[in-house]
Chains A and B, each alone.
Chain A
Amino acid sequence: MAEKVLMKGNEAIAEAAILAGCRHYFGYPITPQTEIAAYMAKKMPKIGGTFLQAESEVAAINMVYGVASTGMRVMTSSSSPGISLKSEGLSYLAGADLPALVVNVQRGGPGLGGIQPSQSDYFQATRGGGHGDYHMIVLAPASVQEMASLTVKGFELADKYRMTSMILADGTMGQMMEPVSLDFEASQTVEKPWATTGTKMSRPHNIVNSLFLQPDELEKYNFERYERYKRIEETEAMCEEYMMDDAEICVAAFGIAARVSKNAVDEARKMGIKVGLIRPITVWPFPKAAFAKAADKVKAFISVELSMGQMIEDVKLATSCKKPVFLCNRAGGMIPAPEQVLASIKEAAEIGGAN
Chain B
Amino acid sequence: MSTKQFLFSGFGGQGILFAGKFLAYKGLLDEKQVSWLPSYGPEMRGGTASCSVILSDDAVGSPIVSAPDVLVAMNLPSLDKYESSVVSGGLILADSTLIERKVARDDVKVVYIPATRLAGENGIPTLANMIIVGKMLSELNDFGDASIEAALAKVVSAKRADMLDANRKALKLGAEYVGG
Residues of A within 8 A of B (CB): 4, 6, 31-32, 115-116, 171-172, 175-179, 256, 259-260, 262-263, 266, 335, 337-338
Contact = CB atoms under 8 A, between A and B. Distances in A.
29 contacts: A6-B24, A6-B25, A6-B28, A6-B154, A31-B40, A115-B40, A115-B41, A115-B42, A116-B41, A172-B37, A172-B63, A172-B64, A175-B38, A175-B40, A176-B38, A177-B21, A177-B36, A178-B35, A178-B36, A256-B63, A259-B62, A260-B64, A262-B61, A262-B62, A266-B61, A335-B64, A337-B64, A338-B61, A338-B62
A179 B31 CA distance: 10
Given A4-B28, A6-B25, A6-B28, A175 B62 contact: no
Contacts of B25: 6
A175 B28 contact: no
B60 interface: yes
Interface string B15-51: 0000001001100100001111110111000000000
Contacts of A115: 40-42
Describe B's contact surface by its main secondary structure. mixed
Interface string B140-179: 0000000000000010000000000000000000000000
B66 interface: yes
Count chain B CB atoms within 10 A of each CB in A172, A179, A259, A263 and give the residue with the most. A179
A15 to B, nearest CB: 16
Most A CB atoms within 10 A — which of B38, B60, B62? B62
Cβ-closest 5 pairs across A and B: A263-B61, A177-B36, A262-B61, A260-B62, A176-B37
Contacts of B60: 178, 259
A337 B63 CA distance: 11
A337 B37 CA distance: 15
Contacts of B64: 172, 260, 335, 337
